Structure formats: C-alpha cells, structure tokens
Amino acid sequence: MGSYRATGEYRRDSRYITTRITADGQDGYPVAPGRYRLVVSRACPWASRAIIVRRLLGLEDVLSMGVCGPTHDQRSWTFDLDPDGRDPVLKIERLQEAYFARFPGYERGITVPAVVEVTTGQVVTNDYAQLTLDLSTEWTRYHRQGAPQLYPEHLREEIDAVNEVVYKDVNNGVYRCGFAGSQDAYDEAFRRLFSRLDWLSERLSSRRYLVGDAITEADVRLFTTLVRFDAVYHGHFKCNLRKLTEMPVLWDYARDLFQTPGFGDTVNFDHIKRHYYEVHKDLNPSGVVPLGPDLSNWQLPHDRAALGGSPFGEGTPPAAPVD
C-alpha cells in the first residue's frame, strides 16, 4: 500500500483510521473485555507488533484475536485458516467486510492489524503504531500480574526518538529498498538502511536493549523487521549488503529477543515467506517460495545477558501462548 514520488521513491500510504480505544472512551470506544477482536496476520510485521504486545501484557482473555492467512488479494485479507474460511467470532470471510460496515466503500488499504467491535462488526482502528501504545497505557486494568512496562513514562521521549528513526530507515526502509521505482531511490534507501543498522549495532554493543534495562516498545518494533531480514528482505527486497547473521551484534540481539517468551513463539516463518513471495507478484512473478534459508540457527545461544538488564524488568514472563 503506497505510491511513488517523481524520483521513484516508494512512499507508504499512512492514512489510517485513528479512532482510539481508551480507558475513558473519549473517542466513543471504551476499553472493555470481550468487546473487541484484534485481527492480524502472522505474516505482517506491523500486525506482529500487536501480537507480541498483546501476549506480553497478558491480554488474551480480554481481547480475542482473529488470524488471517498469509496471502491476500488486492483489496482484503481473508480468514482462510478458519473452517469454511470464516472468522468464528466476527462471522465474516474478508476483513474488508468490517471496514465497509463502518465506512461503506472504504477506498484506502484494508490493513492488519485492525481492531473490530464484535457486536457491530465495524472496524474501530487500524492505526498500528498507536494501537500497541494504547494496549500498554489504556488497557492497564487488564494487564496480567507481572506484565512488563513496555512504554514507561520516564522513557517515552527516548523510546519515541528511537522508534522514529528505526521506522524511517529500517521498518519502512526495507520496503523503500524493495519497492524502489528507480536506481537512485533504491541506492539512497539501501545506504540509509545499512547506515542505520550500523548505528543500531553500535548502540546495542554496550546495552542489552534499545532503551533502558528491559524490553520496551522500541525492541518490539525493531524485532519484527529483524526476524524477517534473512528470510525475506535480504533477497526479496534486495537488502543484500549483509545478512542479519553477518551482523554479530544485531544477530545476537535478535536471537536474545526471539528466545524471550512472547517474541519467537509468535513467529511463523512459513506465513512470512509465503506472504512476501506469493503476494508480491511484481517482484516475484512466478510466486515460487524459496526453501531457504536455514532458520534453525535462531535457537543458538547468545551472551547478551552479560550486558545486564532483565527482559521483563521486575515482572515475569508470559504464560505459554494460547492462540
């Protein structure tokens, strides 16, 4: 979902439904258990953020989750993983139906993650960046005991600053490489991406996590790009200066997070690979999905604990995943 500047630079369409679900219900949608359903795809890095945060905070019992398949057509994600291709709670086959229920003829992208109100079947928000912050700050009444502080008030300014540059150069930077419409646009995006990865390597060489001494929203946002890097972005998006496995600090950091409950246990590499290689027919006309790379190395040991800190701060790990 995006367009191109005259220079060939890929520009993501960032016009999202910005309605918020808040503790005081200021937008007309108050936090309430069972009222909403989080719709995701495990293929999508933006949706994966919400999956991880929901699990880390222990919100599974109050915010149900519907999982779309790894592929979609030009307009909508579909519930092809469910019996009869229909979400068992929302009773719809295509996420598009929830968007149209609130905005008939909705013309922007039908994106995940999206939160849908169960009783009306209407989409509430697809603003993925604000969504995870609100799960941390507005849903606190329903957090599990021992839930981590992913967006602590005293670190928010630093987290926001890190998130901004990581989004521009890394999260969206890989897409700016993959969908570049000219050589100059690709070259510029490529240089910015690997310059930022070098910056992150330097930052993480002396600290276990991006901000503070425990995992935060910043780590969640970087992880979902790093975990897809060798499987997809290195080849499919031409981000091929170095593999993640050839960047020692980031590779250790990514494995540390992958092996932390709530991160790696939400990842489905098959869905990730099928999505990018089957859906992006302009980049991969054959739709052939590569068998590699070998992904068993994500469980190799690392020594990141020697840098100090603890993944959950004073909290505890989440229970085993239930969905």
Q: 44 is written with which tokens?
A: 């999508």
CA distances from 186 to 169, 196, 227, 229, 277 (A): 12, 15, 22, 17, 19
Exposure b/e, 98-110, CB count within 10 A at least 16 = b: bbbbbeeebeebb
239 is catalytic: no
CB 236 within 8 A of CB 32: no
Q: What are phi and psi of 124, to 5 degrees?
A: -100, -50
Q: Which residue out of 10, 36, 44, 276 is catalytically annotated?
A: 44
Cβ 231 vs Cβ 237: under 8 Å: no
Residue 2 CA to chain centroid, in angstroms? 18
Report DSSP letters for 78-136, one per residue: B-TTSGGG--TTT--SBTHHHHHHHSTT--S---SSEEEETTTTEEEE--HHHHHHHHH
Provide the pairing of β-strand 64-68 with 10-12. unpaired
Q: Which of 36, 99, 128, 175 is catalytic?
A: 175
| CA–CA dist 157, 151 (Å, integer) | 10
Phi first, then psi: what are they for 9, rounded to 5°? -75, 130
Picking from 178, 147, 156, 130, the residue whose alpha carbon sits closest to that of residue 58 is 147
Residue pair 65/89 in contact (Cβ under 8 Å)? The answer is no
The reply to whether 177 belongs to the active site is no
- Which residues are bridge partners to 55 per DSSP? none
Position 251: which residue type? W
Give the DSSP letter of residue 64: E
Residue whose token pair is 């890394």: 170
Residues noted as catalytic: 44, 175
